[in-house]
């Protein structure tokens, strides 16, 4: 298994699932940089999407993981950053295809919408599926410059 550097963050809606994901990632031997939050006090998800996205963009992390109540707010916030392709995952099929076709670099989860085991399976597939390249390079290049 390739050892990966993973940046992870959550808001109060995702902090419980984040703790399970952090434990599993560490147990698998990956390096985890946890940007919080660490408790159940209400916080703002963009404050955690920002440093995780920055770590991925800077190449300090191979991948990011973001968890909020639904994963949707984190996905929206992360995708505002150049070079970030963040995807909410609900199953292993989405995890496989968003790596293979979209070269996604941040996996988002909903702490209130997915079970721990399903999230862990999806994350494992996400981290182990290579980007296919080829025809997808052209499409991803168009995303990087969307305004004609
Ligand atoms: C916080 O209540 C909730 O809005 C947040 O965790 C997330 O689901 C937003 O998309």
DSSP code per residue over 55-73: HHHTTS-SEEEEEESSSHH
User: What are the residue ranges spanned by the domains of the chain?
Assistant: 5-144
Biggest distance spanned by C-alpha atoms of the chain = 46
Task: Please tell me what DSSP assigns to residue 145.
Answer: S
| pLDDT of 2 above 80 | yes
| pLDDT of 140 above 80 | yes
Q: List, for residues 28-55, the tens digit of each pLDDT value.
A: 999 999 999 999 999 999 999 999 999 9
- Give the pLDDT band (50/70/90) at residue 72: very high
| pLDDT of 147 above 70 | no
**Matching CATH number, 5-144, of 3.40.1400.10, 3.10.20.30, 3.40.50.150, 3.10.180.10:** 3.40.1400.10
Helices (H), the chain: 15-27, 46-57, 72-78, 92-100, 116-128, 135-144
In sequence order, the 6+-apart residues with CB closer than 8 A to the CB of 40 are: 12, 15
The answer to whether the CB of 11 is under 6 A from ligand 1 is yes
The answer to whether the CB of 72 is under 6 A from ligand 1 is yes
pLDDT of amino acid 134: 96
| pLDDT of 133 above 90 | yes
Q: Mean pLDDT over all residues of the chain?
A: 96
Q: What amino acid positions are annotated as catalytic residues?
A: 68, 101
pTM of the model: 0.97
pLDDT of amino acid 144: 85
- Give the pLDDT band (50/70/90) at residue 148: low
The answer to whether the CB of 45 is under 6 A from ligand 1 is yes
Q: Across residues 5-24, what is the average pLDDT?
A: 98
Q: How far is the CA of 115 from the centre of ligand 1 (A)?
A: 17
Q: How far is the CA of 22 from the centre of ligand 1 (A)?
A: 20
């Amino acid at each position: 298994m390739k050892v990966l550097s993973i940046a992870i963050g959550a808001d109060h809606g995702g902090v419980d699932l984040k703790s399970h994901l952090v434990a599993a990632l560490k147990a698998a031997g990956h390096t985890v940089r946890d940007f919080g939050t660490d408790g159940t006090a209400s916080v703002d998800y963009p404050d955690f999407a920002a440093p995780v996205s920055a770590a991925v963009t800077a190449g300090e992390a191979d991948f990011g993981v973001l968890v909020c109540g639904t994963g949707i707010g984190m996905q929206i916030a992360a995708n505002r950053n150049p070079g970030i392709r963040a995807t909410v995952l609900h199953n292993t099929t989405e995890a496989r295809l968003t790596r293979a076709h979209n070269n996604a670099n941040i996996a988002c989860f909903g702490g209130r919408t997915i079970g721990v085991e399903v999230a862990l399976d999806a994350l494992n597939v996400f981290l182990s599926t290579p980007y296919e390249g080829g025809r997808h390079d052209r499409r991803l290049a168009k995303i990087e410059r969307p305004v004609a």
